[in-house]
């Protein structure tokens, strides 16, 4: 199971299905979550076999109409990810707050290292 396949069911309930890969579509409702794989660690065996685990660095961005709502949603997402029994996850750094002037929306984002079975 990929990290993306594991994350979507974990986070969907927090935003009533408003969870999108890479970028939200124009006019998407709030609050919403956007996720993207932004790297990860690779396991290389010298004998050329594939490992049974894979790692992804996943960036989760929570969007809302207020700064506080974005932060609270990110806290809920963080708790859901770190407590999930189907993955092994670790937060990479603390939350980062943002504001997008074009849309007047607030964001809170955090990166996670997620290990899943291949």
Specify the range with the lowest mean pLDDT, choosing from 24-28, 44-48, 66-70, 80-84.
Answer: 44-48
What interhelical angle do 67-83 and 3-12 show, nearest 10?
A: 120
Count how many domains the chain has: 1
d(CA 63, CA 44): 36
Range of the domain at 69: 3-19+28-117
Which residues contact residue 76 at a Cβ distance below 8 angstroms, ignoring those fewer than 6 apart?
Answer: 14
Length of the chain equals 118
The distance from CA 50 to its chain's CA centroid, rounded to whole angstroms, is 25
- Residue-level pLDDT at 84: 95
Residue 118 has pLDDT above 90, yes or no: no
What is the CATH number for 40?
Answer: 3.30.2000.30
4: pLDDT strictly greater than 90: yes
Task: Classify residue 72 as exposed, middle or buried by CB count within 10 Å of its CB (0-12, 13-18, 19+).
Answer: middle
pLDDT, position 45: 83
pLDDT (tens digit per residue) in 34-78: 999 999 998 888 888 888 899 999 999 999 999 999 999 999 999
């Amino acid at each position: 199971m990929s990290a993306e396949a594991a994350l979507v069911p974990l986070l969907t309930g927090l935003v009533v299905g408003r969870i999108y890969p890479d970028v939200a579509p124009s006019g998407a409702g709030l609050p919403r979550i956007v996720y993207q794989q932004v790297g990860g660690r690779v396991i290389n065996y010298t004998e050329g076999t594939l490992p049974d685990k894979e790692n992804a660095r996943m960036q989760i961005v929570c969007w809302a109409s207020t700064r506080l709502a974005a932060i609270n949603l990110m806290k809920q997402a963080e708790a859901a990810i770190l407590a999930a029994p189907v993955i092994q996850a670790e937060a990479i750094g603390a939350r980062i707050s943002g504001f997008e002037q074009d849309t007047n929306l607030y964001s809170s984002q955090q990166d996670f290292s997620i290990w899943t079975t291949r």
